[in-house]
Amino acid sequence: MTGARLERTRFRGRAWLFGPDISTDMLSPGQYVHDPMEIRLRHVLEPARPEFASQVRPGDIVVAGANFGCGSSRESAPQHLKDLGVALVVADSLARIFARNAIALGLPALSCPGVSATVQDHELVEVDIVAGEVVVGEGRAHLGADRIPEQMLDVLGHGGIEPLLVALAARGR
């Protein structure tokens, strides 16, 4: 444990609501993999919500049903969300590889059973990733979420696994 402090543990933003089984192919469509980044980002989540990439704003929160991030292990899937300014992902459940990739890239992602049935599209959502709490609307609903383990909070505190490794190397560890 390196003891990095998270700059933010609470996130407050506009919800983008998605259903279940959002795959990494929807997050990072393979047909654009060789295109410049600005083109790739225009197509993030296009099959599910064509307007998402052009209308998402920094600080917005992706809220989804079960099995978010299923499919392949594309690291570009959470990276594209981060590049578009998404603050975090909270879903009924997360595909394990997506959750690990998101944390490794510095994008908070947590499971919160029932969140997709509670949140309305574009509603204000507040998430405390340390306490594992989701507040919907202006306190309309309070949900318990899985807490992010301390070691993963350390990775997030550094902005991802790569900055964490650089910090460790600088300290000779």
Does residue 125 contact residue 90 with C-beta atoms inside 8 Å?
A: yes
Q: How far are the Cα atoms of 20, 49, 87, 135 from residue 11, in angstroms, in the given order?
A: 23, 23, 7, 10
Q: Domains of the chain: which residue ranges?
A: 10-170
Tell whether domain 10-170 is in CATH 3.40.309.10.
Answer: no
Give pLDDT tens digits for 85-127.
999 999 999 999 999 999 999 999 999 999 999 999 999 999 9
Q: What pairs with residue 17 in β-bridges?
A: 63
At 124, phi and psi to the nearest 5? -70, 135
Q: Say if pTM beats, i.e. exceeds, 0.85.
A: yes
Give pLDDT tens digits for 127-170.
999 999 999 998 899 999 999 999 999 999 999 999 999 999 99
Please say if the pLDDT value at position 3 is more than 60: no
- Measured CA to CA, the distance from residue 134 to residue 76 in angstroms comes to 26
Look at the alpha carbons of 79, 84, 86, 89 in this order and tell me if their dihedral is positive or negative: negative
